[in-house]
Amino acid sequence: MKQDKKALTLKTLNKSNVWNIQENDIFRMWEAAEKDADLKDNMRHYQDIVRSAFEIEEVKIDKPEVIKKYESRGFKVGQVRLDDATKVKWALKKRPIMRVTDLTYENIHHISAAKLIEVLERNFGGGWESLSQSIQDIIESSFDISTTTLPTERLHKPGGMYEKKVNDGYEVLEITKGTWTEAIFAKEKPEVEKPRYKSDSDNKLDDDDISDSMEDEEELPEVDDKYSAEDEDEDYDEDKLTEESYRTTFDADPEDLNLEAEDVSDEDGEF
C-alpha cells in the first residue's frame, strides 16, 4: 500500500490521500483547523472530501446507548465544530472496499496487491475478462496484471510462469474452470516521481555573477592603426590634377570617325 510522505492537514486533504487516514485522524485535523477562518468558508468542500472515503452520520441523540450502537457498527464518534456557534457529533466510518465496483482511481493507489486479490475473489468467481474495461483500467493504473489459463495439472509446473511470477513478488488468484485454471497475477507498480524542471531563472546567472565575470576578463590590447587619414592626405595633391586627369579616351579607327562626322553634317542639313 502506498503512503503519502508528507503529514496531512485539512487543507492538504484531497479525494486521493484521504484514503490514507483513519477516523481519528479526521477528528484531529478538524480540531486543529477550528480556529482557521478558511474552515468556515470551505466547510462544504472539506465535507465532500471526507465523504468520498468515509460514511458520515450526525449523532442527533447524544446518549451513551445511542453512541454504543454506532460503535458496534464500526463507527468512531467525535465532536466537530461547524462554526463559531455550532458543535455537532459525527459518527465516522471508513468506506470498505469489498467489491470491484468499490474501486476508483482515487482509492486504487491505497490498497495492497493482497487486498486487490481479495476483492477480485469476491467477483462471483469470474475471471479477468469478466471485468468491465473501466474496472480493468482502474486496476491497471496501479497494478501490473498478467493472466494465464492452463490445464490445472500443468499450472504449478516447476520453472513455469506461475513459479516465476510468485518468485518475483506477485500475488496470485486461481479461478478453477472445469479441468482448467485461470491464474491472475497482481503486483503493485513502483511509484514514479514526477521530474522537477528547473525554471529559466534557475539556469541564468545572476547579474552580479555576470558583472564579476566581465571584470575578470583580460582587456584586449590596443591595435595601432597604421593606416590613417594623414597618410591618405600625403598622397593627395590638388596641383597635380589637370585636364588630363579627367580625359576619357577611346581606341577607334580614324576612317570610322570621319564617317560619323559626315553623318552628323548630313543630319544637320535636313533641318
Residue-range domain boundaries for the chain: 17-94, 100-188
Check residue 84 and give its pLDDT: 72
Check residue 123 and give its pLDDT: 80
| pLDDT confidence bin for 44, thresholds 50/70/90 | confident
C-alpha distances in Å from residue 81, one per residue of 27, 32, 33, 70, 85: 10, 11, 9, 20, 8
Check residue 161 and give its pLDDT: 94
Cell numbers given for 90: 459525527
Check residue 224 and give its pLDDT: 52
| pLDDT confidence bin for 72, thresholds 50/70/90 | very high
Burial category of 143 from C-beta neighbours within 10 Å (exposed 0-12, middle 13-18, buried 19 and up): buried
Report residue 184 CA to chain centroid gap. 31
Phi then psi for residue 228, to 5 deg, are -125, 170
- pLDDT tens for 109-167 read 999 999 999 999 988 677 899 999 999 999 999 999 999 999 999 999 999 999 999 99
Please state, in angstroms and rounded to a whole number, the distance separating the CA atoms of residues 9 and 17: 11
What residues have CB less than 8 Å from 59, skipping those under 6 apart?
Answer: 66, 67, 70, 77, 88, 89, 90, 91
Long-range interactions of 76-81: CB distance < 8 A, separation 24+: 76/23, 76/24, 76/27, 78/23, 78/24, 78/26, 78/27, 79/27, 80/27, 80/30, 80/31, 81/30, 81/31, 81/34
**3-class DSSP state for residue 57?**
strand
Check residue 81 and give its pLDDT: 84
| pLDDT confidence bin for 26, thresholds 50/70/90 | very high
Q: Whose CA is closest to 2, among 15, 19, 14?
A: 19
pLDDT at 182 over 90: yes
Can you give the length of the chain in residues? 271
Kindly report the average pLDDT of the chain as a whole number. 78
pLDDT at 78 over 70: yes
Please state, in angstroms and rounded to a whole number, the distance separating the CA atoms of residues 158 and 147: 18
Compare 41 and 173 and report the one with higher pLDDT: 173
| pLDDT confidence bin for 33, thresholds 50/70/90 | confident
- Give the number of other CB atoms < 10 A from CB of residue 188: 18
Q: How many helices (H) and strands (E) does the chain have?
A: 12, 6
DSSP H helical ranges for the chain = 23-32, 37-41, 43-51, 64-72, 113-121, 133-140, 152-155, 161-167, 200-203, 207-216, 229-234, 254-270
- pLDDT tens for 87-110 read 899 999 999 999 999 999 999 999
Check residue 90 and give its pLDDT: 95
Residue type at 224 in one-letter notation: D
**Maximum average pLDDT range among 79-83, 87-91, 234-238:** 87-91
Please state, in angstroms and rounded to a whole number, the distance separating the CA atoms of residues 240 and 270: 45
Please state, in angstroms and rounded to a whole number, the distance separating the CA atoms of residues 191 and 1: 11
Share of the chain above pLDDT 70, in %: 68
| pLDDT confidence bin for 246, thresholds 50/70/90 | very low
Compare 222 and 42 and report the one with higher pLDDT: 42
